[in-house]
Chain A
Amino acid sequence: MTPRTFLDAASGLPFHPRAREAFLAALDDGWADPARLYSSGRSARQLLDGARASVASVLACRPEELAFTANGASAVYAGIRGAAAGRARMGTHVVHSAIEHSAVLHACAELTPEAVGVDSTGMVSVDDFAARVHSDTALACLIAASHEVGTVQPVAELALALNAACPEVPLLVDASQVLGRAPVASGWSLLVGSARQWGGGPVGVLAVRAGVRFRSPWPEDEHEGGRAPGLVDLPAVLAAAVGLEAAVAESSAQDARLRALVDRIREQVALIPDVEVVGHPSLRLPHLVTFSCLYLDGESLVRELDALGFEVSSGSSCTSSTLEPSHVLVAMGALTHGNVRVSLSRDTTTEDVDRFLAVLPGLVARLRDEAGVSGL
């Protein structure tokens, strides 16, 4: 049996061991309705309050600014709809980078979106972005770091620029790939994230700064400040909070370790003929690297790597349900076919990376031979 090596952390991690413990314990201790006044309800309330305070401290926001949602996409949809509805009298103009997560693009498609391009490293320009935002813009959205190519975006600089030019326009930051790995840049008005990305299970977070105009897209019930409907899944929320604490505690050590491994992958992969590493070489996430192999299709690479024991993802059109290439790679002018994204986790070992790098050049050469494209 081929050993399995999971190299797709950016799609979502398994529970961190401590998050798993918290989840299992909460099935016994955290099942009750936190709104009830009897003792099980009060215990549940204490656990929920503790989880909210813990996550809020990582986000550097107040607990009452933070809502837990069913998953990351729910947080994105509620955040964008709620912020836009809060400024509905300004119209529906929303400015976002061309490399946002598809959840952000879907939500913005309901409004009047304007995309800001990126350079060949996947970096947005603060000046370009700020120039598109006007005082009657409903909302600006920027991903903190690209989930596809890892490039870290100038969030704090954009927040400063917007605050100077149009302080009334809220900035929504999608911090999904950053939470638990690096401090979140300051200056956001709304922040969204997904606990799956830090090993905390299927929970989303939506923070809305006090003073930001926000009208919930849901009927406003008494849960989560009216921003997410109904009771939270308390065991999942507790797992998310404990998982985030654990990820933050490990982040410095993991950052250095994974950054070095990704540096090695970047160097070695670039030596394979006609393979381009995409994304910024230094201003990048610690754990993620993306490359494209000329003349190969992404689906074959993903399937063949899987057969060799390596689980990776791809931004190539043949691997997407819509058969569209990755909008992120297109925006960068990168090759979209033959694309592979490798993203490492706390469980990834040096030996895993060694084995991956040992098989990749031969696999690329074999697939090119089979396709009759060697030497083209």
Chain B
Amino acid sequence: MTLTLDCLGRPCPVPVIELARALPGVEVGQTVTVLSDDPAAGPDLAAWCRMRGQAFEGGTGSSWTVRRLV
């Protein structure tokens, strides 16, 4: 079971903010999928994971997966 955040059409930093709000709601080890067509979403979600000690597991271009580690 993975949580999906639909941020399509919403510019950065919205996807990062939505992820930051949602991640505490999933268990450690679980994932969140962020849907975003903003070209900054992939790099910024990866940077946020680096800053917060979470795992950025990549994506396809408009869908990105993050795993909660802490």
Contacts and interface: CB of A to CB of B under 8 A. Distances in A.
Interface of A: 274, 276, 292, 294-297, 316-318, 323-325, 329-330, 333-338, 371, 373, 376
B20 A376 contact: yes
B32 to A, nearest CB: 14
A315 to B, nearest CB: 10
Given A325-B39, A336-B40, A337-B44, A296 B13 contact: yes
B20 A295 contact: yes
B47 interface: yes
B17 to A, nearest CB: 5
Given A317-B12, A324-B39, A336-B40, A376 B48 contact: no
B13 to A, nearest CB: 4
Contacts of A373: 17, 20
B39 A295 contact: no
Q: Main SS of the interface on chain B? A: helix
Contacts of B43: 325, 329-330, 333, 336
Given A317-B39, A337-B12, 16 more contacts: A294-B48, A295-B13, A295-B16, A295-B20, A297-B11, A297-B12, A323-B11, A323-B39, A325-B39, A325-B43, A330-B40, A334-B47, A337-B13, A337-B16, A337-B40, A373-B17
A87 B51 CA distance: 45
B12 A325 contact: yes
Contacts of A274: 51
Contacts of B11: 297, 317-318, 323
Interface in B9-60: 11-13, 16-17, 20-21, 38-40, 43-44, 46-48, 50-51
B52 to A, nearest CB: 9
A316 B40 contact: yes
Q: Enumerate the 6 nearest inter-chain pairs by beta-carbon distance, A residue then B residue, closest first.
A: A325-B40, A337-B13, A335-B47, A376-B20, A330-B43, A317-B40
Contacts of A292: 47
Contacts of A336: 12, 40, 43-44, 47
Contacts of A325: 12, 39-40, 43-44
Interface residues of B, number: 17
Q: Which of A294, A295, A330, A337 has the most CB of B within 10 A?
A: A337
A334 to B, nearest CB: 6
Nearest to A318: B11
B4 to A, nearest CB: 20
Contacts of A296: 13
Contacts of B50: 333
Contacts of A376: 17, 20-21
Contacts of B16: 294-295, 337
B55 to A, nearest CB: 14
B31 to A, nearest CB: 19
Contacts of A297: 11-13
A334 B44 CA distance: 8
A295 B40 CA distance: 13
Nearest to A323: B39
B38 to A, nearest CB: 7
A330 B39 CA distance: 10
10 contacts: A274-B51, A323-B11, A330-B43, A335-B44, A336-B40, A336-B43, A337-B13, A337-B40, A338-B13, A373-B17
B65 to A, nearest CB: 17
Contacts of B21: 376
Nearest to B42: A330
Contacts of B48: 294, 335
B20 to A, nearest CB: 4
A373 B51 CA distance: 16
B51 A317 contact: no
A330 B41 CA distance: 10
